[in-house]
């Protein structure tokens, strides 16, 4: 989908969630052919002309003022993440060129790679902003999967969630993770500028994963950098782990993702047992 189409479809999907009564407009007699607000109703509620809003939805305006953006966002009941997504789409209205320059793979600096290994009892990943896996430590591979053993084109966490059968075993709440992954990718697509990688990933998943195609049409957006996930491991059972992501100061295009268990919880005990077993297996293999 082109960037202009993404903007149009996103705004259409948000209009469909809001009724005229939600924004104080009177109910008109007769049947409605569209769900939610019509363009002219949104324009009236936001205090802009119908022509201007129509061109805005079609990606045919220049800079949109903060005042107009805030008015439209208020009428559409957009969340903070959705507002950021809309702003990003408006800032990059032109489509990505057909022939985008080939980008060199992003690699981990030796010091970052060493840090992951030093904190090996703690599962850690190093990812790009579209969740390409740049590096994973031993416990990260044990908890999730051995991404570094995969072909480089397959080392993406969102791709893995939808296309790897193992992901459905690893995540005790796979559907919730999948919905969040699709929403994360939509946000990444809005911020991508001329980077072709998010769109290529969307195209592949639309072609290969019916689940992704279904979630993608919901137009959800997220940009969460922390949370809680439940993991299932055959050796220790289900663990509830917190995850946090950090951008290294010297590498702002990367995320360091760390998984920890609440102190004193059964999950902490299970994660420690898993780490001990893996360390024992490593020592025996020497």
Chain segment 203-250, per-residue pLDDT in tens = 999 999 999 999 999 999 988 889 999 999 999 999 999 999 999 988
Whose CA is closest to 34, among 45, 44, 42, 26? 42
Q: Which of 130, 147, 216, 227 is nearest to 178 (CA)?
A: 216
In DSSP terms, 256 is beta-bridged to: 126, 246
**Range of lowest pLDDT (77-81, 92-96, 113-117, 136-140):** 92-96
pLDDT band per the 50, 70, 90 thresholds, residue 3:
low
Task: Note the pTM of the prediction, 2 decimals.
Answer: 0.79
- Percent of the chain at pLDDT > 90 equals 57
Question: Residue length, the chain?
Answer: 286
Helix (H) / strand (E) element for 141: namely: helix 138-143
The pLDDT value recorded for residue 171 is 98
Q: Convert 75-113 to b/e letters by CB count within 10 Å (16 or more is b).
A: bbebeebbbbbbbbbbebbeebeeeeeeeeeeebeeebe
Q: Are 209 and 163 in contact (CB under 8 A)?
A: yes
Q: Domain spans of the chain? A: 3-91, 110-284
pLDDT value at position 244? 97
d(CA 161, CA 105): 21
Q: Does domain 3-91 have CATH number 3.10.20.600?
A: no
Residue 122 is classified by DSSP as S
- Tell me which CATH code domain 110-284 carries: 3.30.450.180
Cα(168)–Cα(160) distance, integer angstroms: 10
Position 152 scores a pLDDT of 86
Tell me the mean pLDDT in the region 51-62: 89
Output the average pLDDT for the chain: 88
The answer to whether 18 and 75 are in contact (CB under 8 A) is yes
Q: Highest mean pLDDT range out of 7-16, 144-153, 159-168?
A: 159-168
Convert the pLDDT of each residue in 165-215 to its tens digit: 999 999 999 999 999 999 999 988 887 767 788 889 999 999 999 999 999
CA end-to-end span of the chain: 51
Dihedral over Cα of 8, 13, 16, 17: its sign? negative
What's the mean pLDDT in 141-145? 96
Residue 30: per-residue pLDDT: 62
In percent, the amount of the chain with pLDDT more than 70 equals 90
Q: What is the mean pLDDT of residues 273-282?
A: 82
Instruction: Answer whether residue 94 shows pLDDT above 60.
Output: no
Q: What is the three-class DSSP state of 283? A: helix
Distance CA 143, CA 139 (A): 6
């Amino acid at each position: 989908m082109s960037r202009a189409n993404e903007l149009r479809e996103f705004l259409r999907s948000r209009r469909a969630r809001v009724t005229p009564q939600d924004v104080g407009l009177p109910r008109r007699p007769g049947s409605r052919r569209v769900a939610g607000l019509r363009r002219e109703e949104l324009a009236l509620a936001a205090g802009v002309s119908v022509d201007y809003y129509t061109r805005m939805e079609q990606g045919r305006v220049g800079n949109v003022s903060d005042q107009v953006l805030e008015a439209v966002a208020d009428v559409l009941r957009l969340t903070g993440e959705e507002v950021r997504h809309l702003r990003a789409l408006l800032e990059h209205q032109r489509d990505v060129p057909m022939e985008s320059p080939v980008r060199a793979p992003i690699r981990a600096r030796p010091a970052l790679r060493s840090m992951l290994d030093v904190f090996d009892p703690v599962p850690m990943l190093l990812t790009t902003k579209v969740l390409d896996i740049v590096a994973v430590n031993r416990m990260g591979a044990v908890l999730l999967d051995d991404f570094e053993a995969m072909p480089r084109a397959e080392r993406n966490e969102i791709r893995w969630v939808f296309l790897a059968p193992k992901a459905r075993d690893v995540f005790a709440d796979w559907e919730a993770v999948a919905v969040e992954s699709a929403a994360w990718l939509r946000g990444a697509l809005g911020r991508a500028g001329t980077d072709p990688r998010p769109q290529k990933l969307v195209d592949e998943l639309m072609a290969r994963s019916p689940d992704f195609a279904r979630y993608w049409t919901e137009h959800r957006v997220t940009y969460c950098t922390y949370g809680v996930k439940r993991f299932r491991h055959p050796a220790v059972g289900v663990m509830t782990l917190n995850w946090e992501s950090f951008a290294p100061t010297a590498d702002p295009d990367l995320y360091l993702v760390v998984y920890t268990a609440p102190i004193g919880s059964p999950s902490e005990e299970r994660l420690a047992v898993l780490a001990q077993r893996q360390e024992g297996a490593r020592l025996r293999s020497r």
